[in-house]
């Protein structure tokens, strides 16, 4: 039952994990996906396809893949063709091929034992399961850059080659990769690259009118009638368009604006609610991304926040952050990890748009520069402290 004083009727519609039943302005891209993977339905087991979706933050990559996967499975069922769809986020799985494979095998066999298998064994197990079920699998590797950064290009190479040399010559595994950055392709070996290059789906930034229509369709389901005047929708769309057309930012801001309206017991969201909500919405540092960091990664992030809280400088060096990281560890009575491990933690933070890490060109050694954008050091510190507490 909805609270009669609230502007919301169904907040869940604005949840970050909500998948809308229809994606606006992505028909063409969806058709392209259908085209690339058509053989799963029309010529099952004949080939294994690879494709990649590329686009900036909040351009609908994840939603598009998930929606496509859902529809693919439904269509397959109608045609009595066996297709599974499994979607894994490589960054949430720390960019580890091993963890990705374990997640996939677990999705197929929930009671599969947690321990005792190496990555190559899991790969074999996966192929065996597909063969036993006599099914095809479309596996989506979301945020594939993380897998390549951590486990190298070999991980992807192995996944694309696993079917060659098997006795069973049915093609069962197709891959859909997702990346924010097209440069990820440059890192791949020639043959993986050439198979992906032929099937790239690029998602453009949403324009303000497109963002407005996306917001409108969500607002209709999430809010009481008349609670979201058009000028509010357009204002949020304008702000989100400044954030590179990030639909997630737009939807998040809409939700928070509703919260401010509720706080003031207003029946309608107004522009001032949006203004109040805007500074608290950070398109990248959000619970979703922060909560899957390990404790020590959070300590490193805290060290980054502390550095910029104390120093009015554009960049921090790795050394400076590492020193502060050790202080943070001391504070929490934890033994700081060694330099190599610290380096890995730091690289794990590359996924955030708010933390930029680049090589220091003035220094030929392996120094990196860390830079904080889009979030104040104080806010970042607050968020991280909260996340640490929850662990
Ligand atoms: N065309 C659209 N129509 C309706 N909702 C959309 C559309 N595009 C994106 N959204 C919504 O915006 C939010 C962000 O989309 P999504 O998570 O797919 O972005 P992304 O490209 O995967 O971003 P990231 O690179 O940060 O992972 C989701 O809640 C999604 O449902
Ligand atoms: Mg995504």
Residue-by-residue DSSP string for 118-169: -HHHHHHHHHHHHHHHT-EEEEEEETHHHHHHHH-HHHHHHHHHTTTT-S--
Helical (H) or strand (E) element with 100: helix 97-108
**What's the CATH code, domain 11-16+206-280?**
1.10.8.60
> How far is residue 68's CA from residue 204's CA, in Å, rounded to a whole number?
18
- Ligand 1, atom nearest to 64 Cα: 18
pLDDT at 296 over 90: yes
Q: Which ligand sits closest to the CA of 67?
A: 1
Q: What is the mean pLDDT of the chain?
A: 89
Q: Which of 247, 255, 288, 354 to mutate to test the pocket of ligand 1 (most atoms within 8 A of CB)?
A: 247
* Cα(201) to centroid(ligand 2), Å: 14
* Cα(220) to centroid(ligand 2), Å: 24
Annotate 197-229 with three-state secondary structure: HCCEEEECCCCHHHHHHHHHHHHHHHECCCCCC
Q: Which ligand sits closest to the CA of 203?
A: 1
pLDDT at 82: 97
φ, ψ (nearest 5 deg) of residue 112: -65, 135
> Nearest C-alpha to atom 24 of ligand 1 is from which residue?
57
* Cα(365) to centroid(ligand 1), Å: 39
* Cα(132) to centroid(ligand 1), Å: 35
> Nearest C-alpha to atom 25 of ligand 1 is from which residue?
57
In words, the CATH class of domain 287-390 is mainly alpha
pLDDT digits (tens, 9 = 90+) for 225-281: 999 999 999 999 998 998 889 999 999 999 999 999 999 999 999 988 888 888 766
Q: What is the mean pLDDT of residues 26-35?
A: 97
pLDDT digits (tens, 9 = 90+) for 42-71: 999 998 899 999 999 999 999 999 999 999
Asked: is 27-203 a CATH 3.30.2320.50 domain? The reply is no
Q: What are the start and end residues of each CATH 3.40.50.300 domain in the chain?
A: 27-203
> How far is residue 197's CA from residue 130's CA, in Å, rounded to a whole number?
27
pLDDT at 153 over 70: yes
- Cβ < 6 Å from ligand 1: which residues? 16, 18-20, 23-26, 55, 57-63, 180, 214, 247-248, 251
What pTM, to 2 d.p., does this model score?
0.77
Q: What are the start and end residues of each CATH 1.10.8.60 domain in the chain?
A: 11-16+206-280
At residue 365 the predicted structure's pLDDT band, cuts being 50, 70 and 90, is low
pLDDT at 200 over 70: yes
- Say which range, 32-41, 96-105, 276-285, has the weakest mean pLDDT: 276-285
pLDDT > 90 in the chain, percent: 62
Q: Which ligand sits closest to the CA of 56?
A: 1
* Cα(63) to centroid(ligand 1), Å: 5
Q: What are the start and end residues of each CATH 1.10.10.10 domain in the chain?
A: 287-390
């Amino acid at each position: 039952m909805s609270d009669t004083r609230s502007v919301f009727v169904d907040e869940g519609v604005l949840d970050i994990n909500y998948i809308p039943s229809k994606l606006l302005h992505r028909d063409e891209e969806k058709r392209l996906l259908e085209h690339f993977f058509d053989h799963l339905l029309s010529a099952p087991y004949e080939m294994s396809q690879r494709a990649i979706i590329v686009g900036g933050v909040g351009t609908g990559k994840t939603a598009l893949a998930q929606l496509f996967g859902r529809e693919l499975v439904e269509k397959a069922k109608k045609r009595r063709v066996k297709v599974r769809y499994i979607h894994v986020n490589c960054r949430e799985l720390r960019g580890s091929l091993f963890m990705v494979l374990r997640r996939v095998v677990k999705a197929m066999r929930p009671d599969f034992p947690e321990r005792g298998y190496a990555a190559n064994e899991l790969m074999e197990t996966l192929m065996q399961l597909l063969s036993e079920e006599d099914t095809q699998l479309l596996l989506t590797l979301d945020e594939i850059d993380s897998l390549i950064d951590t486990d190298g290009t070999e991980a992807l190479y192995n996944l694309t080659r696993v079917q060659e040399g098997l006795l069973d010559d049915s093609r069962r595994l197709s891959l859909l990769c997702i990346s924010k950055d097209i440069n990820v392709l440059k890192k791949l070996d020639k043959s993986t690259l050439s198979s992906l290059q032929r099937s790239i789906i690029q998602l453009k930034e949403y324009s303000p009118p497109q963002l407005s229509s996306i917001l409108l369709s969500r607002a209709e389901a999430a809010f009481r009638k008349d609670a979201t005047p058009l000028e509010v929708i357009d204002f949020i769309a304008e702000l989100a368009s400044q954030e590179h057309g990030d639909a997630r930012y737009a939807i998040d801001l809409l939700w928070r604006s509703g919260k401010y309206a509720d706080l003031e017991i207003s029946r309608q969201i107004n522009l001032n609610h949006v203004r109040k909500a805007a500074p608290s919405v950070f398109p990248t540092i959000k619970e979703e991304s922060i909560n899957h960091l390990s404790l020590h990664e959070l300590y490193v992030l805290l060290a980054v926040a502390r550095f910029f809280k104390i120093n009015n400088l554009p960049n921090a060096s790795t050394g400076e952050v590492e020193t502060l990281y050790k202080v943070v560890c001391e504070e929490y009575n934890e033994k700081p990890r060694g330099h190599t491990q610290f380096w890995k933690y730091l690289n794990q933070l590359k996924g955030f748009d708010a933390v930029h890490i680049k090589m220091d060109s003035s220094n030929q050694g392996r120094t990196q520069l860390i830079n904080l954008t889009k979030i104040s050091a104080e806010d970042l510190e607050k968020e991280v402290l909260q996340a640490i507490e929850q662990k």
